Amino acid sequence: MIWYQYANAESEWSFGADLQLTDQYFPEIYGDDTNDNLLKLELDPLVKWKSGEHWRFYFKPLFVANPDNKSSDEQIFFEPSEAHLKFQKEVLNISVGYNVVTWGVTDGYNPIDVVNRKQIYDPIRSKKLGSPSILISESVGWFDYDFMYIPNSREAIMPGENSRWLPREVFVPQVPGNNIVLLLPANLRYHWGNSQVLDNALDNNFALRLQKTFSIFDLSISGFDGAANYPIIEPQVTGSIVQVSPKTVIQVDRDVRLDMKQHRIRQGGFSLVSRQWDFLFKYATSYTDDYGTYNNLPGWLHEHVLGLEKTFNFNDAMLIAILQYSFLDSQRSNDSNISITEIFRRAWMAGGRLTWKEVWNISVLGLYDTIHYSHFLEITVGRRLFDAWNVSLTADFIAGSSENPLGLYSKNDSYLLAVSRSF
């Protein structure tokens, strides 16, 4: 990013921006009303201001134009992201406005990073939403802490009704004892319905993190009380009874209404990072539970992620390689194939990023779900041009049965060309 600065005796302003044009192509048609090509323009301006030693202002919004998207909600997107006024003095920082935090140490799947909601038009490339909040960070004695208060939390922004990421093939398991079987049409058509807030989930959210370094160990303990990252989604269907005995069989209509329930969770988290024998060891764990009387609450969830990272240096290149394993236990065995968490119940992730001559970048990321035997592979090749320009090509491949949470998106293989410029 190229900076333009203006300063006087009392204050200093800085301006910059990143501009990116992307074209994403999906080779396989998926539904009557979804896109097989998405052309997007993204603008990320950045404004900084400082006055004296103590006052700072930071503004980094995001503008996205995607005019050909068949989901009208996704055609224009504006997000304030980070827009806050900060007071800093020695070891104390107080930030008021829209704040984004990233807690936790693992890559790809981070069970502790639950404070900010997300825009999930594309689950593979979700974007964090700024939380209107007060954020206090301070070093006191032998530890550091971060405290965040969110008076009214935002809701996650879900995919549009014509999005490829709302599955058109949904496996609906038969619930034991109810003797009902649902026959689904070839292509479902979704409509967002009611959104209900349970137990004041969006009000008065709190988050606290304590950090301490002991020799070769970096430790953190965190807690969160507030809205869950993703709402409970309840499909409401209509149909015609085609059989009543020995089981009731219903032919479901094509139009499906999706109702949302915002619910509240409490989470405790712990992370550890240690550098030994030229390796970086990472471990993160969290225990999440919800509260309330609603019947369809997901219940408790215990998550663990183990990671190993190694850096290799060559003459003109550097490679960062990672290996990670996640294992989850939950109160309920979730058979839903629209549950993102289910992908990581027992999963391996491996990848690497190679930088050559500070000009070329090649990254590879793979995920294997050992329960459902599905997998995901992402390959990116990038090149920096004339200092301020970057060109990259990314290929995503998803494989697996449509009856599991990752394989359900196997028709969403894609190729993405991105051209970006910094100002």
405: left (phi over 0), alpha (psi -120 to 50) or beta: alpha
Q: Report the distance separating Cα 360 and Cα 136, nearest Å.
A: 39
* Residues in Cβ contact with 264 at an 8 Å cutoff, skipping those fewer than 6 apart: 198, 199, 200, 201, 225, 226, 227, 228, 290, 291, 292
Better pLDDT: 343 or 180: 343
Q: Is 18 helix (H, G, I), strand (E, B) or coil?
A: strand
Q: Report the distance separating Cα 411 and Cα 30, nearest Å.
A: 7
pLDDT per position as a tens digit, 65-95? 999 999 999 999 999 999 999 999 989 999 9
Percent of all residues in the chain with a pLDDT value above 70, rounded to a whole number: 93
Identify the weakest region by mean pLDDT among 126-140, 316-330, 398-412: 398-412
Number of domains the chain contains: 1
Cα 233 to its chain centre, rounded Å, is: 17
Distances in whole angstroms, Cα of residue 381 to Cα of each of 66, 180, 257, 276, 396? 24, 49, 40, 31, 12
Query: What is the pLDDT at residue 386?
Result: 87
**pTM for the complete prediction?**
0.89
**CATH number, domain at 160?**
2.40.160.10
Q: Which domain holds residue 417?
A: 4-422
Query: What is the pLDDT at residue 6?
Result: 63
Query: What is the pLDDT at residue 337?
Result: 46
Q: Is 365 helix (H, G, I), strand (E, B) or coil?
A: strand
Mean pLDDT of 35-56: 94
> What tokens were used for 5?
């600065």
Residue 7 pLDDT grade (very low, low, confident, very high; cuts 50, 70, 90)? low
Better pLDDT: 393 or 215: 393
Identify the weakest region by mean pLDDT among 109-118, 242-251, 269-278: 242-251
Backbone φ and ψ for 82, nearest 5 degrees, come out as -110, 115
Query: What is the pLDDT at residue 206?
Result: 97
* Residues in Cβ contact with 291 at an 8 Å cutoff, skipping those fewer than 6 apart: 199, 264, 266
pLDDT per position as a tens digit, 89-106? 989 999 999 999 999 999
Quick check: 282 pLDDT over 60?
yes
